[in-house]
Amino acid sequence: MNLFEISGLKKNFGDRTVLNINELTLQTSKIYAVLGPNGSGKTTLLRVLNLLLAPDSGRIKFMGGDIGISQADRLSVSRQMCMVFQRPFMFRSTVFNNVAYGLKLRRVAKPECERRVNEALDFVDMVDFAKHSATRLSGGETQRVALARALVLQPRVLLLDEPTANLDPGSVQHIEEIIRKYHQEYNTSVIIVTHNLFQAKRIADESILLINGEVVERAYTAEFFDHPRELRTRQFLDGTMVY
Amino acid sequence: MEAAVSSLFAQKMEILEIVKMSLQVSGSATLLSALIGIPLGAWIGLSEFKGKRLLLRLVYTLMALPPVLAGLLVYLLLSRSGPLGFMELLFTPTAMIIAQCLLVTPIITGLVSAGIAAKEGLIFEHAISLGASKTQATWTIIKEARTGIIAGIMTGFGRAFAEVGAVMLVGGNIRHMTRVLTTSIVMETRQGNFEMGIALGIILLLLSFMVSSIVLSNAEEFSLK
């Protein structure tokens, strides 16, 4: 089944077009890596998909239905996805309350909420931190809590915006393991924006290259890295692209 | 110091009355200002509209409104020949509350608006991404900006509690009626009772410290529920 069907999508910031995607279809239960140089529109794409930004034109279908029609529709659609930001903001409370935030918004009963929060914290190895202040964690710990805060909601799709940027190799590996494990156990679709080509190779089923807001190439990850079709993909991968 | 303490004990009942009046007037003025200033500040901080910058400049200018000028305005409003003279509020605690409201509301509005605007975008996106409706996201922003809001309230209370010009003008420092700590200090100093003036000043500072401590310790417990 198709997760997202994008057609004629455009997003401008002032005079500058940051997204210009003619056609892009993403399937459920896959991990997609979105690659590209700085300013290529990767984060904007995630924000548009997460309904944080409205496109200027074009159509987006989520699980077969058009999104962004009415406020009620938007809420029900946005509650099926969850985004983890590059620099996650922790609410000024405990780790437990941060992870429980989305469940409380959905009015999940207290015992169920506690069970799910503990399960999510266990999933990211942060159970011992439940009562700690969420604003006093290290970068890696903060990112794990941000992941738990998203995973606890059991979204259909997880949108990750450079979740391992600025983390040490150990933390990167830990976060990747969590993503892979969650994807395998819950069959959740994942769209990850990353600058780390090795990371894309390690975890993505398919890779997509965005340059100047346009999809240059989209292919199975092995094919994308070993036999890129487009000249610009080859230039991007071997670092010879001139921006 | 000894002289200050002994003069305090000599007039214990009257001082208690003055302290009570000070807390009553400044507390009511702060409460009223918070009821106006918090929603107004939140609205300014969260919305984009034409004239927002001008409104903010006006609020920031009013944050520095001289107490004597605020007192004069309220005096003109409430004096017998003024538009609200028929209410006969001049030289009553109500007039003092109105004058202090005029001073405190811009402070709370300005600080709340700045506190909320500083975090608005970041928190809003996180909240929406975690499934909040716009109303839920707005409430989350207000909760997260609680330090700024409490700072606004405390600064406002401090301004009201310590000001003398406005309450002197519209209250008149009438014994057993409108006398508060600051007007008493002025009066005692003019009469040459410096010990009493210093003693009242110490009480004022201690009370201010106690109120801040109570508010701040409760604020710490106010976390995401």
Interchain contact, B132 vs A105, CB within 8 Å? yes
Does residue A84 sit in helix, strand or coil?
strand
Non-local CB neighbours of A95 within 8 Å, separated by 6+ positions? A121, A126, A129, A130, A131, A132, A133, A134, A137, A145
Q: What is the pLDDT of residues B145-161, one digit of tens each?
A: 888 899 899 999 999 99
Q: How far apart are CA B166 and CA B170, in angstroms?
A: 6
Instruction: Mention the CATH class of domain B2-219.
Output: mainly alpha
Question: Is B14 at the interface with chain A, CB within 8 A?
Answer: no
Structure tokens at A209: 């290259």
Q: Decide which of B10 and B133 is more confident.
A: B133
Chain B residues near residue A83 by CB distance under 8 angstroms: 129
Q: How far apart are CA B23 and CA A184, in angstroms?
A: 63
What's the whole-model pTM score? 0.80
Report whether B45 contacts B120 (CB < 8 A): yes
Question: Is A160 at the interface with chain B, CB within 8 A?
Answer: no
Interchain contact, B136 vs A93, CB within 8 Å? no
Sheet of A65-66, strand order:
A16-27, A2-13, A57-62, A65-66
Picking from A44, A46, A48, A78 by the largest number of B CB atoms within 10 A of its own CB, the best residue to mutate is: A78
Of B126, B133, B223, the CB nearest to A93: B223
Chain A residues near residue B144 by CB distance under 8 angstroms: 91-92
Query: Percent of chain A, pLDDT > 90?
Result: 90
Q: Which of A205, A138, A211, A206 is nearest to A175 (CA)?
A: A138
Q: Label residue A7 by pLDDT band (50, 70, 90).
A: very high
Q: E-strand spans in A51-90? A: 57-62, 65-66, 81-84
Fold of the domain spanning A1-80+156-162+192-243: Rossmann fold (3.40.50)
Report whether A144 contacts A123 (CB < 8 A): no
How many angstroms separate the Cα of A91 from the Cα of each of A84, A159, B42, B142, B221?
Answer: 14, 20, 18, 12, 14
Q: How far apart are CA B38 and CA B113, in angstroms?
A: 8
Handedness of CA A103, A109, A112, A118 (dihedral sign): positive
Q: Where in chain A is the domain with CATH 3.40.50.300?
A: 1-80+156-162+192-243
- For residues A118-140, average pLDDT: 95
Report whether A11 contacts A48 (CB < 8 A): yes
Structure tokens at A49: 């998909």
Q: Which of B12, B30, B23 is nearest to B210 (CA)?
A: B23
Q: What is the pLDDT of residues B165-176, one digit of tens each?
A: 999 999 999 999
Structure tokens at B103: 């001073």
> Which DSSP letter does residue A94 get?
B
Q: Label residue B223 by pLDDT band (50, 70, 90).
A: very low
Q: What is the pLDDT of residues A21-50, one digit of tens each?
A: 999 999 999 999 999 999 999 999 999 999
How many angstroms separate the Cα of B205 from the Cα of each of A219, B19, B94, B154, B199?
Answer: 71, 12, 24, 13, 10
Interchain contact, A93 vs B123, CB within 8 Å? no
Question: Is A51 at the interface with chain B, CB within 8 A?
Answer: yes
How many angstroms separate the Cα of B181 from the Cα of each of B22, B60, B94, B191, B211?
Answer: 6, 28, 17, 15, 15
Q: For chain B, what are the domain ranges?
A: 2-219
Of the spans A74-78, B3-7, B30-34, B198-202, which averages the highest pLDDT? B30-34
